[in-house]
A and B are shown apart, each in its own frame.
Chain A
Amino acid sequence: MSEHVRVEVTVNGTAHSTDVPARRLLVSYLRDDLGLTGTKIGCDTSSCGACTVLLDGESVKSCTVLAVQADGARVETIESLAAGGSLHPVQEAFREEHALQCGFCTPGMVLAVVSLLRENPGACAEDIRRGLEGNLCRCTGYTPIVRAAIRAAGAEGELA
């Protein structure tokens, strides 16, 4: 029925070559074709950020990107972050600061923070609040997420 296109994309370090319907969104490609269900879908208006992934290192809402648009690109999802079994400093900070409750927004939120701190390692609370505007959380009230981001910024500073 619908037209298929070949997509070659490196996801979490593994190269994939898949025929997908032209209209398939990156988020469905990750979740349904590759089985990477850590990336969530929370809306249909590109408003919530639950689907946030890193595309060539930059955070994008994967519900606003077609799978074909990721052709030739590198995608990182939440599944790649705790490589080697130990949590990423941002994940660790979320845990320490109780920055998640139900955990549904968390994969997107963590990746948004990772990307935000890469771009602005010295981000202050104001920067973080503004930078996370596209990621909604209905549980935490955000304060612990902001604290986690600040803690992670410190931790990454120490690591660097």
Chain B
Amino acid sequence: MTAQPATGPVRWVGQSTRRVEDARLLTGSGRFVHDLRFPGMLHMVTIRSPLAHARVVAIDLAAVRSASGVRAAVTGADLAPLGSMPIMTDNGAQVADVPVPILAGDRVRFAGEPVAVVVADSFEQAVDAAELADVEYSELPVVTDPREALTGAVVLHESAPDNVIMRWRAGSGDVAAAFASAALVVRARVELPRLAAAPMEPRGAVASHDPATGLLTVYASAQDPHRPRLQLAAVLRRPPESIRVVVGEVGGSFGSKSILGPEVFAAAALSIRLGVPVQWVETRSENFLAAYQGRGQQADCELAVAADGRFLALRAALIADIGAYLYPPSPVPPVLTGTLVTGVYDIPAASVEVVGVATNKVPTGPYRGAGRPEGAYIAERMADLAAAELGMDRAEVRRRNLIPAAAHPFRTAVGTTIDSGDFPHLLDRVCEMLDYPGALARQRADRERGEVTGIGLSVFLEPAGLGFVESATLAVRPDGRVSAQVGTSSHGQGHQTAFAQLLADALDLDFDQVEIGYGDTARAPAGVGTFASRSAIVGGSALKMAAQQLRERAMSRAAEVLGASPGEVTWHPGGRLACPGGAVSLAELVAAGDPLEAAATFRLSAPVYSSGAYGAVVSIDRHTGALRVDRLVAVHDAGVVLNPAIAEGQVVGATLQGFAEAVSEQVLHGPDGQVLNGSFLGYGILSAAEAPELWSVFTQTPSPLNPLGVKGIGETGTTGMPAAMAGAVTDALAPFGVRHLDPPYTPERLYQVIAGAERSGTGGGQ
């Protein structure tokens, strides 16, 4: 254990306490859904559409049903009538009524869409049987490009003849007047491609219905148990009380498991029908085909700039490639992008319009960042382009436009209110870490030698804490230890540790006198879950409030037991309550009387804004297009940090994801809608050998909106990296006449740009 001072109000928060979770995960005893075994458990395999758009003419499962070991095989029609997962519209988006089907009806709209399922005694038998399915399709024309989809030549849903299935707009200020008076108007079309979240553990669940009690228990690989329970209730048309969801170990999610896959509902329906547990765990190939993807957003942007470099107004028209249907959170990322297009800058007028388009591809949804990277990418690309067109230094342009620290709470022209942050400090800090003037001088010298090098900067926001309510309950156990149940849930974030630190401090207990539980709707208080970097903020605050309540209750109980007046009782480390005449421990208090419990709910009034800045220096080999990172620095303001090792871990992990997004990741679809790189062989997840080293530091402006002063840290790296890398790469390629280039910056893409420029004589030195 980390050495601890003996007493004091804060002993655990702020320490890199070793994680409680690790012992079980390191020894292979952590239980993920694929590791669960129940008596009589059957295995479910999904039969998927091989086509991206077709009518389903007939499904013949006779051969499947008679295969060895098969217990059932069903189509969507067999499972009807099921409800659908409600689409989230609380962000003000207008949406079409095109929810994801559980199993396809008479039409399939993306390659990989579930058409039928088979359950058998073993997984191998289910796989073999699935191959015997005879499904007759009649092919329909396919549209994969969202701009082409907007022409309406191919229509996915008759209720949306122009394929627009989502809309949102915002803005304020006199945009037209600002553009009319601008010295310069910068224009760009920018795009971040579709990405796969690709958690190392694919999606899966075990559904187990008990016919005797009517209780349906679903063990799910999910971000939390509460939202899945409501989804199950809506689809299966059962009261939530008849459903228990248990989330055990989860092998990563990155946003992709905030909604249950349709297959889970089919497994649950079959468990109810057959009266035995049904396990569904997808393969990696299925994860690439059928798990919702992230990003897939493009925007036409215009920035009005004054001669002195001040930004006057921004206009953005966003197109989101939503895919074949709307998952409940599909509208979330594009709207969040829309709220962040002005970035960290004071831009007095703005207007933004978001259009979500149906295409013959798997739907999109939140992926780590979920609109934050797209928003930062737009704001930072426009800042870079403004600098280039003004002939001004990129740090200087930013400095002239950053929202000053004293201006918070600052309301942007797109209606976002930023609670806190010191953006000029972040920029100064990152420039200092890069040795910015030195880096510029070195770049000049390198360029003279014919080298291709670039410097990139990004400053960004990470709104966190969305989904504003969370609860915690506490109980003193007979041995005097305090156990907590929280509504948020962990899939790698180390809540059991960070929350225990918080609770130990709040109650002045030792770290091993407290215990954190979560993930089971039968025990955990109502919660919303772990997403949007919100757990520490909302869940942690609820925990702190419950601890305060427990303290007060224990003190007044102690006063009764000791025959003292409440004011005489004092709380001592380790949970000892004393008055001048005597003392009592927490264990003695519960032994003497009723249970000692507390419960609290914290409601956050508005999102909390983390912020950060990245700086990157890259060089590109002009003969191969290979990109090398020479220096990568980051500074994050996540408010008060509960556990620095965990926070740093989030940053380093997210930075690699953001780096991979910039240099290698992109889900590719062919014109027929087939995924072209749906495996770890084709999709650019990076290995240890390719991961850059990051130099990262934290600064702190505590959030005024919660009692802990904490902010989010989960999505910083994916948010800041693409913009910084885009800045560095386009800077490197500027001598070749490149003004703007979208990621991923693969060697092929970079080589082609350089070779193309050299052929046309745009040179770039030498």
Contacts and interface: CB of A to CB of B under 8 A. Distances in A.
A87 B27 contact: yes
Contacts of B655: 141
Nearest to A108: B200
A91 B26 contact: yes
Contact of B26 (A106, A144, A145): A106
A1 B596 CA distance: 60
Given A35-B37, A138-B685, A98 B649 contact: yes
A3 to B, nearest CB: 13
A60 B201 CA distance: 19
Contacts of A48: 200, 284, 680
Contacts of B645: 98
B1 to A, nearest CB: 11
Contacts of B494: 101
Contacts of B251: 40, 42, 102-105
A53 to B, nearest CB: 11
Contacts of A87: 23, 26-27
Nearest to B283: A44
Interface residues of B, number: 56
A139 B225 CA distance: 21
Interface stretch (B320-328, B377-385, B558-566, B687-695): B687-695
Main secondary structure of the interface of B (DSSP, over half): loop
A21 to B, nearest CB: 7
A31 B645 CA distance: 33
B300 interface: no
A95 B201 contact: no
B35 A37 contact: yes
B34 A50 contact: no
A94 B691 contact: no
Nearest to A25: B124
Name the residue among B249, B284, B685 with the largest chain A CB count within 10 angstroms: B284
Contacts of B491: 102
A106 B25 contact: yes
A24 B680 CA distance: 23
A115 interface: no
Interface stretch (B13-21, B264-272, B357-365, B407-415): B13-21
Main secondary structure of the interface of A (DSSP, over half): loop
Given A37-B31, A110-B26, A128-B688, A104 B200 contact: yes
A68 interface: no
Contacts of A77: 28
A129 B691 contact: yes
B201 A40 contact: yes
Nearest to B67: A1
A47 to B, nearest CB: 4
Nearest to A134: B687
Interface in B660-694: 679-681, 685, 687-689, 691, 693-694
A120 to B, nearest CB: 15
B117 to A, nearest CB: 19
B493 interface: yes
B27 A82 contact: yes
Contacts of B679: 43-45, 47
B680 A47 contact: yes
A59 B16 CA distance: 32
A43 B694 contact: no
Interface in B12-70: 16, 18-19, 21-23, 25-32, 34-35, 37, 68
28 contacts: A37-B34, A38-B27, A40-B34, A40-B200, A44-B284, A45-B284, A45-B285, A47-B680, A81-B27, A87-B26, A87-B27, A94-B26, A98-B16, A100-B25, A101-B492, A101-B649, A102-B25, A102-B199, A102-B200, A102-B201, A102-B491, A104-B201, A104-B251, A104-B252, A136-B200, A138-B198, A138-B653, A138-B657
Interface of B: 16, 18-19, 21-23, 25-32, 34-35, 37, 68, 124, 198-202, 249-252, 254, 283-285, 491-494, 645-646, 648-649, 652-657, 679-681, 685, 687-689, 691, 693-694
Given A47-B681, A101-B494, A105-B251, 17 more contacts: A1-B68, A42-B200, A48-B284, A77-B28, A78-B28, A87-B26, A94-B26, A98-B19, A100-B25, A102-B250, A103-B251, A104-B201, A130-B688, A132-B689, A141-B691, A142-B687, A143-B652
